[in-house]
Structure 1
Amino acid sequence: MRMIVIGTGPIGGIIGGRLARAGYDMTFVDVDKEHVEAIRANGLRVDVPDSPFNISINIVLPNEIQGKFDIGFIAVRSNYTLDALVTVLPHLNENALLVSMQNGINPPLLQQQVGADRTVGMAIRMGCRRIAPGHLHTATRGHLYIGHLHGKTTPQLQTLHKLLEAAMETEISDNILGVLWSKLTYTCLGFFGSLADVSLATSCAGAANRRLLVDFLAEVVSVGTAAGARFIPLAEYNPPDLHPCNPIEKRLAIVNEMAKSWKDDDRKGPLRQIQNGIKTEAEFTLAYVVHQGEKTNIPTPLCRKLLTMIHELEGGTRQLGMKNYDELYRS
């Protein structure tokens, strides 16, 4: 069975690297020539808590792909999903699976191209990052959820589950859309924590911003609920508990409990991307919530304002700073 990974960043590289180490026939693709050249020269270096490894892999640029594949993994940021599909679709066998390993709700886009039984959504709980070209790092073993949007377990899904188990703990879900929505609430939390170059422990130290975060998460959960998402509990919180139908005291208590784990030196992924001049996934995560709110008639003033502020930070017309939370509060 031949597998291809489009995007050899932290997610595609770490999970795909584990599969390669387990002996599977893997081809990796990336557009970053420096990253590709580093891996070709020195192998893919992966720091994982159980057993760090360095492995020689077959990595190519998009125009160098050869042959057909039985499984395609899309591991690019959501901004580049359509580009990744253009790259991979000509190289898939007739009944090949197409797997989204991304943030956001991307499986419907894949399903439009290959159909329901060939589309698999994947939700990943694994903090990870790229240290340098050819060098990836995670401090957690990680956990995968996989499933078709229709919720059925097909033979192909069972085969995928078996091979992924060689890489990390994997669970088949009949509710992958609900799992992805649950993770989306946490992704949106990352954008909330990216308005200033401080940790959430600092930005939400005061009562006003702590309440602001509660109200923000209430918007996200309200939209997901109206869109039909069946949320699952996360390690940090159970999303339905943050729905505004619950008393504000209960919701504040949940955020206060979560805050105990916040660290002063923690910085969210979108913040690092903004600081490095990299476009975030806001248009495919936070904006998705806003658009779904419009469809379901759920007001999202905080999500909408935060989205505008993230765009301004990306465009250089707004500066990072605590004053941004004051402005968000006034919205």
Structure 2
Amino acid sequence: MSGAAAPGRIALLGGGAVGSFVAGSLAAAGHEVVLIDAWPEHVAAIQANGLLLNSPEGAQRTHPEAWHLGEAHRLRSLDAEVAFLTVKLYDTDWAAALLATWLSPSVPVVTLQNALVEERVARALGWGRVLGAIGSGLDVLLAGPGEMQRSRKRGAAGGTVFKVGEVHGRRTPRAERIAALLSAADTSAVTTDLWTERWSKLTANTMTSGLSGLTGLSLKQVYSREDTRRIAIRLAAEAIAVGEALGFRLQKLFGEPPETWRHAAQGDPQAKTAALAAMAVQAASMAEGGMSGTLQDLSKGRPTEVAFFNGYIAQEAARLGLPAPTHARIAALIAEAERGRLPLDPGNIARIAGQTESTTA
């Protein structure tokens, strides 16, 4: 989808890397934007000096309105056309309840988050108000209060970055409008298969984010190194098998069909070559130093979302009687890292690969 969307009033709950990137991009495009966040220094910096967006294309200072979380009650008088939920996955339940309390019941809510969270949000808001949005290839980092950094150029992800979908799968005017809004940040389109898109993004996240976090490697390094790419192939095959058992039929993952990843994990040379090449394409589209969300969280001493990524795959695999040992190891190792009992180091690659039974340093 291309072309500028007519000005609108938009609220975002969650001012992390994704929320700040989208808020700043929308504000730069002329929309009235309210960004609500719990980090006082971040809110104060935006209020005082605006939000600085750094990207490979250059720096741009934008001026969304910023509210502290304690001011969320002001939403009751905000005539917004849409609200985006951009909090961490573990904050979804209370954030959805907050929007249900203060946001006008006529305002749709878009889950611009990772993993399958729409059902959790719908418990608070009702299914009729909920849309999903997937953001792929963002590679964004909240560098400090009032400063967001992106390490990938606009349009460089090799496909549509934002995909907006109704939970019932039909194309609607409001989904078209939201996709048009997000085109201010990067390429966007409406999807009529939200759930498959969700599983595809979840699979991609589980291949790299926890792996990056545990090793301290950038995403570009994870996509470039032979040892990490071998693990990523195993992670992809395990997640694809679980997804298929749950009824998700992926068309392609990083440009390759599911069979490529499955056969590559089984040792097929031709499939392995294709899978490695697909990851090399991803690496080539990235700037140096881009950190996964998991590595960012661990570096700041914050909880990660891996329980909703690899942990979720491992739990569903166990429930279905399927093997997902690589996902289970990553989830267990991340839990140790979150407690400060495991350093972030490439030496953890052996642990992730199952070459040692130890989960502590």
* CA distance in 2: counterparts of 1:144 and 1:54, whole angstroms: 23
Matched, 1:302 2:291: no
Structure 1 unaligned residues grouped into runs of 5+: none
> CA separation of 1:247/1:321 partners in 2, compared to 1, >3 Å: closer, same or farther?
closer
Which residue pairs with 1:257 in the alignment? 277
CA displacement, residues 90-123 of structure 1 (integer Å, 9 cap, x when unaligned): 2222232111111222122122233333211111
Q: Within the alignment, does 1:13 sit opposite 2:20 as a pair?
A: yes
Aligned equivalents of 1:116, 1:70: Cα separation in 2: 17
> CA separation of 1:185/1:251 partners in 2, compared to 1, >3 Å: closer, same or farther?
farther
Contact preservation (8 Å) 2:51, 2:61: yes
Q: Is residue 318 from structure 1 mapped to residue 327 from structure 2 by the alignment?
A: no
Q: Structure 1 pair 236/58, CA: closer, same or farther in 2 (3 Å)?
A: same
Change (3 A) 1:87 1:55: same
Determine whether 1:226 maps to 2:245: yes
Taking the aligned partners of 2:225 and 2:21, their CA distance within structure 1 comes to: 34
Question: What percentage of residue pairs aligned between the two structures are identical?
Answer: 24
Measured after TM superposition, the shift of residue 267 of structure 1 is: 4.8
TM-score normalised to structure 2 length: 0.81
Residue type at the aligned position of 1:256: L
The aligned amino acid for 2:140 is C
**1:128 and 2:146 are equivalent in the alignment:** no
| Amino acid paired to 1:141 | R
Unaligned runs of 5+ in 2: 1-7, 156-160
**2:117 matched to which residue of 1?**
106
3-state DSSP of counterpart to 1:100: strand
Q: Find the aligned partners of 2:347 and 2:29 in 1 and give their Cα distance.
A: 49
Compute the displacement of 1:130 (Å).
1.4
Q: Is the 8 A contact 2:223 2:279 kept in 1?
A: no
Query: In the alignment, which of 157, 172, 179 is matched to residue 190 of structure 2?
Result: 172
Spell out the pairing of 1:41-120 with structure 2 (5 A cutoff).
41-49=48-56, 52-65=59-72, 66=74, 67-68=77-78, 69-120=80-131
Instruction: Measure the CA separation in 1 of the matches of 2:176 and 2:232.
Output: 39
User: 1:160 Cα deviation (Å)?
Assistant: 2.0
Structure 1 pair 239–269 and aligned structure 2 pair: CA distance change class (3 A): farther
Task: Give 1:151 shift.
Answer: 0.7
Query: Number of paired residues?
Result: 330
5 Å matches for 1:257-296?
257-258=277-278, 260=280, 262=283, 267-296=291-320
Deviation of 1:280 after TM superposition, in Å, equals 1.0
RMSD: 2.8
